[in-house]
């Protein structure tokens, strides 16, 4: 079947082929890419890197002592892995801290609830109590009249759906990121949400939220999914259900962390860059193994394999361990401001857990699509297909994309990603080392070839950055 896209593609090929060089890559470049792929697929160092990070540093909440230990760990690891140089870029942000947090149902149903504050929430300033009012989803809460929730606790019960590509996240996450504003407008004293997650374990999922200008901040927290079920069952009985909430959280001063950049200096165009990477920070509840220790391990090892080759790639490759992704892509936004993004050829971030890659997707100038096809052909033996016209960049690539940089997405199987995402259950045992090997193979071949490309990937139309950009890890499928 000839789709309009396929017709466009063949037209693009027909137009481009006679004028461009015969192939986007030299035969030697392709042979090196295949060798990188096969060696990594047979066994990589990614798992050892994630094991080191999650064991020696553990959770890496922005602004904590562990943030600084993570930066020191990344700098030392890049050096030990043989990168040509390591750069540290300061990244400053407001410091949100989590203290004790507790919730319980009050009589006649008295019992504890498993809860966690959302990142960016204000605290309760001592325990607060209120009757709970349930809403099926954020739209229903949004329809609540001003003042109708006076003295009450708004509760959004919407359940996230499970999909391989994580596409259940987008429709669910606004309740977390924006719901407190709607609860406040209706007069509520707090917001509770069902966790944005697909598991049925008693681990609440944290994640970032943000107050809009002019809205009175009210505390916001997530219940574990079984606790949300429990609350909904009691509310269905048609009698008042009251909850006590005590959250000792909030902002306290500023903190300066660092983007840590491992660079392989290009042999011909050292001041042009291909970017791969992940984010070094994590939430505090687990050890940040799948989010995003995996992305750090995969891309650090992929770069190390290229650094170990006898020949440097044509352009420089930067493996970036971004600071504070979780609270608003803060490291990536400051990288985009501090660097000349016009010299950045293309970027890809691994930030969707540790599941195998099944597709290559890309946003490039249509004239550069033959190069994407040629890269995809090298990835075929890894079980990776080419998916034109869909997907989007990893979260930390978004601020660079907004300045015109093309992106690639090595789309991972995220079927179980949201079982663990932002919970205490995000730990190393969830990672299959063989799956990491497959991903290192793909990232190494991709980064090498992108840096070896004879032409370029063009530029994308610049976009005005959203004032409140998405702040969710694992949002790479948008
Ligand atoms: Zn993440």
List the one residue out of 210, 146, 126 whose CA is nearest residue 173. Answer: 210
Q: How far is the CA of 345 from the centre of ligand 1 (A)?
A: 23
Q: Is 362 exposed, middle or buried (0-12, 13-18, 19+ CB in 10 A)?
A: buried
How far apart are alpha carbons 355 and 176 in whole angstroms? 25
Taking phi over 0 as left and psi of -120 to 50 as alpha, with beta for the rest, 145 belongs to beta
Q: How far is the CA of 370 from the centre of ligand 1 (A)?
A: 30
Q: How far is the CA of 16 from the centre of ligand 1 (A)?
A: 37
Note the pTM of the prediction, 2 decimals: 0.92
Give 190's DSSP letter. Answer: E
List the one residue out of 334, 249, 250, 327 whose CA is nearest residue 281. Answer: 327
pLDDT tier at 58 (50, 70, 90 boundaries)?
very high
Q: How far is the CA of 107 from the centre of ligand 1 (A)?
A: 39
Query: What would the two tokens of residue 442 be?
Result: 């793909």
Read off the pLDDT of residues 369-385 as tens digits, 9 standing for 90 and up: 999 999 999 999 999 99
3-class secondary-structure state, position 361: strand
Beta bridge partners of 220: 191
On the question of pLDDT at 390 being above 50, the answer is yes
Whole-number pLDDT of residue 135: 98
User: What angle, 0 to 180 degrees and rounded to 10, lies between the N-to-C axes of helices 294-307 and 27-41?
Assistant: 130
Count of other CB atoms within 10 angstroms of residue 79: 12
Q: How far is the CA of 137 from the centre of ligand 1 (A)?
A: 24
Q: How far is the CA of 53 from the centre of ligand 1 (A)?
A: 15
The pLDDT > 90 percentage for the chain reads: 92
Q: How far is the CA of 408 from the centre of ligand 1 (A)?
A: 17
Read off the pLDDT of residues 3-35 as tens digits, 9 standing for 90 and up: 444 444 444 444 444 444 469 999 999 999 999
On the question of pLDDT at 184 being above 80, the answer is yes
Q: How far is the CA of 472 from the centre of ligand 1 (A)?
A: 7
Q: How far is the CA of 246 from the centre of ligand 1 (A)?
A: 27
On the question of pLDDT at 52 being above 80, the answer is yes
Q: How far is the CA of 285 from the centre of ligand 1 (A)?
A: 14
Q: How far is the CA of 367 from the centre of ligand 1 (A)?
A: 32
Q: How far is the CA of 130 from the centre of ligand 1 (A)?
A: 34
Whole-number pLDDT of residue 464: 81
Q: How far is the CA of 355 from the centre of ligand 1 (A)?
A: 14
* Distances from the Cα of 11 to the Cα of 14, 42, 87, 135, angstroms: 5, 39, 43, 50
How many residues can be counted in the chain?
478
The kind and range of the H/E element at 131 are strand 128-135
- Tell me how far the alpha carbon of residue 200 is from its chain's centroid: 22
Count how many Cα atoms sit within 13 Å of the Cα of residue 412 in the half-sphere of its side chain: 30
Q: How far is the CA of 250 from the centre of ligand 1 (A)?
A: 21
Residue scoring higher pLDDT (181 or 464): 181
The answer to whether the CB of 275 falls within 8 A of the CB of 346 is: yes
Read off the pLDDT of residues 442-475 as tens digits, 9 standing for 90 and up: 999 999 999 999 999 999 999 987 554 443 333 3
How far apart are alpha carbons 363 and 44 in whole angstroms? 28
Q: How far is the CA of 263 from the centre of ligand 1 (A)?
A: 22
How far apart are alpha carbons 1 and 24 in whole angstroms? 27
How far apart are alpha carbons 75 and 86 in whole angstroms? 7
CA angle 475, 138, 159 (to 5 degrees): 65
- Tell me how far the alpha carbon of residue 79 is from its chain's centroid: 25
Read off the pLDDT of residues 138-175 as tens digits, 9 standing for 90 and up: 999 999 999 999 999 999 999 999 999 999 999 999 99
Q: Which regions of 265-292 does DSSP assign to beta strands (E)?
A: 269-279
Q: How far is the CA of 292 from the centre of ligand 1 (A)?
A: 5
């Amino acid at each position: 079947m000839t789709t309009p896209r396929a017709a466009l593609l063949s037209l693009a090929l027909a137009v481009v082929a006679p004028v461009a060089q015969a192939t986007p890559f030299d035969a030697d470049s392709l042979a090196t890419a295949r060798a990188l792929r096969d060696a990594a697929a047979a066994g990589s160092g990614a798992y050892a890197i994630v094991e080191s990070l999650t064991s020696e540093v553990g959770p890496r909440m922005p602004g904590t002592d562990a943030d600084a230990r993570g930066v020191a760990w990344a700098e030392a690891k890049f050096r030990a892995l043989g990168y040509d140089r390591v750069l540290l870029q300061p990244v400053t942000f407001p410091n949100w801290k989590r203290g004790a947090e507790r919730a319980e149902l009050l009589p006649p149903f008295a019992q504890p609830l498993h809860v966690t504050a959302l990142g960016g929430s204000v605290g309760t300033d001592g325990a607060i109590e209120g009757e709970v009012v349930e809403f099926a989803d954020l739209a229903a809460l949004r329809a609540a009249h001003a003042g109708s929730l006076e003295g009450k606790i708004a509760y959004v019960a919407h359940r996230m759906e499970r999909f391989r590509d994580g596409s259940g996240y987008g429709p669910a996450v606004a309740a977390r990121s924006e719901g407190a504003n709607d609860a406040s407008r209706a007069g509520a004293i707090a917001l509770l949400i069902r966790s944005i997650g697909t598991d049925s374990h008693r681990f609440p999922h944290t994640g970032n939220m943000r107050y809009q200008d002019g809205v009175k901040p009210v505390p916001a927290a997530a219940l574990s999914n079984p606790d949300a079920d429990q609350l909904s069952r009691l509310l269905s009985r048609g009698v008042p259900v009251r909850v006590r909430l005590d959250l000792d959280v909030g902002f306290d001063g500023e903190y300066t962390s660092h983007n840590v950049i491992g660079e392989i200096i290009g042999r011909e165009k050292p001041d042009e860059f291909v970017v791969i990477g992940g984010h070094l920070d994590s939430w505090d509840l687990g050890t940040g193994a799948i989010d995003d220790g995996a992305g750090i391990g995969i891309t650090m090892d992929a770069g190390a394999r290229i650094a170990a080759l006898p020949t440097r790639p044509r352009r420089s490759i930067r493996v970036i361990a971004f600071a504070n992704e979780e609270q608003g892509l803060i490291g990536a936004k400051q990288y985009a401001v501090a660097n000349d993004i016009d010299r950045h050829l293309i970027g890809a971030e691994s930030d969707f857990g540790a599941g195998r890659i099944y597709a290559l997707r890309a946003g490039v100038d249509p004239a550069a699509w033959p190069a994407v096809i040629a890269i995809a052909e090298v990835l075929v033996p890894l079980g990776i297909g080419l998916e034109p016209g869909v997907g989007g960049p990893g979260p930390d690539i978004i601020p660079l994309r907004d300045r015109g940089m093309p992106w690639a997405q090595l789309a991972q199987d995220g079927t179980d990603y949201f079982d663990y995402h932002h919970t205490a259950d995000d730990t190393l045992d969830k990672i299959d080392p063989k799956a990491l090997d497959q991903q290192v193979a793909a990232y190494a071949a991709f980064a090498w070839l992108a840096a070896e490309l004879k032409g370029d990937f063009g530029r994308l139309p610049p976009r005005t950055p959203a004032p409140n950009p998405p702040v969710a890890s694992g949002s790479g499928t948008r």
